Amino acid sequence: MATATAQFSRSRSTYAALRLSVLQFLADPQWLVPSMIAPVIFALVSFELFRGAGPYFLTYAILGAGMMSMWGQTLYGSGWATGQDREFGTLEPTIQSPTPYLYVVLGRVLWNVISGLIGGLIVYVVIVAVAGGPPAVPDPLAFALLFVFVMVTLASVGVVFAAFYVYTRYAGFIQNIGEFAFYIGTGCMFPVVLLPFYTNPISLVFPPTWGLDALRYLSIPGYHGFGWGFWGDLLGAIATTLAYLGLAGAVFHRVELHVLEEGNLSEY
């Protein structure tokens, strides 16, 4: 029976994890609520919240509701899936496989980005339908591309969060504490510059802060965020995203070693 040893492939493992996420999503009707129904509710609330707030209120409403429906799914979805691996007892066989766990997480992140974008699209459609027309965006193509990139910035933080779920079974508890602060601190609902100035350095540590500010520069004429303009924000977003992905690579290796030392992979 023993034959030439199989070799794992990073891209195949990542695709396998993405495929598994889709299968689990389709197999479980509870996901319809956060992914399909919640964006509709967020869109309606956001529309009412920003109505009358200047000429670009539609853009603010779309960004606010869009981020609200996407950020949780994209940012925490991957971490939560790792928490589920602990609960199901599948973390042990997955870690024991030749594939480094980082590639499994990347596959899940990809799915979360896709499902986050579907949520964003639902928000857009609902607000356009309620408002009777689309918002005036100077460059719709650039907006759409940047929107996808903001998802990637969220996902990069999500990968680092996933490492905590491998590290400890208490990651969910830590996440719940930080969830709201992160949501406000990265400017998901309103620009970070509206927050007290001493919170800004903390906000700037996170890639989505830069990405969202760049998105507002692009879509709202006359917007003045941190003051370093669209390109400054875009460069900041790219740099911090790369830093997070690099950090994730280093952290995952260390975390995998730590859990093998602790022997807590089957705890949940």
Partner 1 sequence: MTESTLALETRGITRVFESRKGFLFREVTRTEALAGIDLTVDRGAIFGLLGPNGAGKTTLVKILSTLLLPTKGTALILGHDVVKESEWLRPRIGLVLGGERGLYNRISGRENLRYFADLYGVPLSERERRITEVIDRVDMAWAADRRVEEYSRGMKQKLHIARGILHRPEVLFLDEPTIGLDPKSARETRKLVRSLVADGVTIFLTTHYMFEAEELCPEIAIISKGRVVARDTVGKLRELVGGDRTLEAEAYGFDDREVEALHHLPGVSKIVSEEFGPVSRLTLRVRTEETRPEHLRALLPNHPELSVRERRTSLEDVYLDLVEEEAH
**Residue 246 CB, nearest approach to partner 1 (Å):** 21
Part in contact with partner 1 (CB under 8 A); list of ranges 40-48, 82-90, 146-154, 240-248: 82-90
Part of the chain binding partner 1 (CB under 8 A), chosen from 1-9, 44-52, 62-70, 168-176: 1-9
Q: According to CB under 8 A, which one of 119, 154, 231, 265 is a site residue for partner 1?
A: 265
Exactly one of 33, 51, 55, 97 binds partner 1 (CB under 8 A); that residue is 97
Name which of 132 and 263 has its Cβ closer to partner 1: 263
Spatial CA neighbour of 147 closest among 66, 247, 30: 66
What sign does the CA torsion over 51, 56, 62, 68 have? Answer: negative
Closest contact distance (angstroms) between CB of 119 and partner 1 is 21
Question: Burial, 113: exposed, middle or buried (Cβ in 10 Å; 0-12, 13-18, 19+)?
Answer: buried
Report the candidate in 225, 231, 197 with the shortest Cα–Cα distance to residue 209.
Answer: 225
Does residue 99 bind partner 1 (CB under 8 A)?
A: yes
The Cα–Cα gap between 95 and 118 comes to 30
Give the interface size with partner 1 as a residue count (CB under 8 A).
Answer: 37
**Per-residue b or e along 227-237, where b marks 16 or more CB atoms closer than 10 Å to that residue's CB:** eeebebbbebb
Q: Give 219-267 as a DSSP string.
A: HSTT--SSSSHHHHHHHHHHHHHHHHHHHHHHHHHHHHHHHHHHT-TT-
> Could you tell me if 207 and 241 are in contact, meaning their C-beta atoms sit under 8 angstroms apart?
yes
Q: Which one, 220 or 265, has the nearer CB to partner 1?
A: 265
Determine the angle formed by the axes of helices 171-185 and 77-88, rounding to 10 degrees.
Answer: 170
* For partner 1, the closer CB: 75 or 91: 91
List the one residue from 3, 196, 197, 222 that touches partner 1 (CB under 8 A). Answer: 3
Which 15-74 positions form the footprint of partner 1 (CB under 8 A)?
A: 15-17, 19-20, 23-24, 27-28
7 binds partner 1 (CB under 8 A): yes
Residues that bind partner 1 (CB under 8 A): 1-3, 5-9, 12-13, 15-17, 19-20, 23-24, 27-28, 88-90, 92-99, 104, 257, 260-261, 263, 265-266
